[in-house]
Amino acid sequence: MEFIIDTVNLDEIKEAVEYMPIVGVTSNPSIVKKTSPQNFFEHMREIREIIGKERSLHVQVISKDCDTIVKEAHRILEEIDDQVYIKVPVSYEGIKAIKILKAEGVNVTATAVYDLMQGYMALAARADYIAPYVNRIGNLGADPMELINELSNRIVMDGYDTKIVAASFKGVQQVRDAFNYGAQSITAPVEVLKQIFKNPNIEKAVDDFNADWYAMYGEGTGIC
Ligand code: E4P
């Protein structure tokens, strides 16, 4: 099970990797726009500095035609490092680019997946990660969990190494369901993951335990 964060905000990334078991960072141009760094590649290198090589960094291309997607991928790898996962939308041009990049040994995250057959194509093209867009699929009236479940079954049945990194989350329940339906990995905004700990019962439980401790040993005493 992998938790990845969907942000390029440096402060958020620093805090998230310090506090939570985060194994990677993803973004897309709309997420980058929220921070609007002056120098995109410098910013991505800063993210790499923060997360280290032990965590994955997924960077999205912006072009629509295969040749330019592949050129952009090469530039991203040159400017950041060769461990970066290149996020390529699974369009007709995108799937060709994924095939080329995989043949070159590049790490690829197949993104903008709305449909099972798109997922199967990305799987057959040996993408390392496949990103179904949970909230966006739900908004279209389809069932993202069914897609995740069927993709996950296919991965197991055919013995692929590919991981599902479910994306596009607006709430914790969607994240939980994605894992339970078979996603190995999720990428979510930091504020969505922090919601996990906003359950008032957690604080109440701790307060009750502390009250019992202080009743025994006196107000303000601790263990250390
Ligand atoms: C992954 O990085 C996706 O691009 C992202 O999760 C999409 O999220 P959105 O549907 O909130 O834009």
Q: What is the ipTM of this complex?
A: 0.97
Three-state SS across the chain?
A: CEEEEECCCHHHHHHHHHHCCEEEEECCHHHHHHHCCCCHHHHHHHHHHHHCCCCEEEEECCCCCHHHHHHHHHHHHHHCCCCCEEEEECCHHHHHHHHHHHHCCCEEEEEEECCHHHHHHHHHCCCCEEEEEHHHHHHCCCCHHHHHHHHHHHHHHHCCCCEEEEECCCCHHHHHHHHHCCCCEEEECHHHHHHHHCCHHHHHHHHHHHHHHHHHHCCCCCCC
**What is the set of domains in the chain, with CATH numbers?**
2-195 (3.20.20.70)
List pLDDT tens digits, range 98-108: 999 999 999 99
Residue to substitute in 62, 133, 139, 169 for testing ligand 1 pocket (most ligand atoms within 8 angstroms of CB): 133
Query: What average pLDDT does range 84-107 have in this prediction?
Result: 98
Residue to substitute in 3, 25, 31 for testing ligand 1 pocket (most ligand atoms within 8 angstroms of CB): 31
Give the distance (Å) from ligand 1 centre to CA of residue 28. 7
Q: Is 167 in the pocket of ligand 1 (CB under 6 A)?
A: yes
Mean of the per-residue pLDDT values of the chain: 98
Model pLDDT, residue 126: 98
Query: What average pLDDT does range 76-80 have in this prediction?
Result: 98
Q: Is 131 in the pocket of ligand 1 (CB under 6 A)?
A: yes
Regarding pTM above 0.90, the answer is: yes
Give the distance (Å) from ligand 1 centre to CA of residue 58. 12
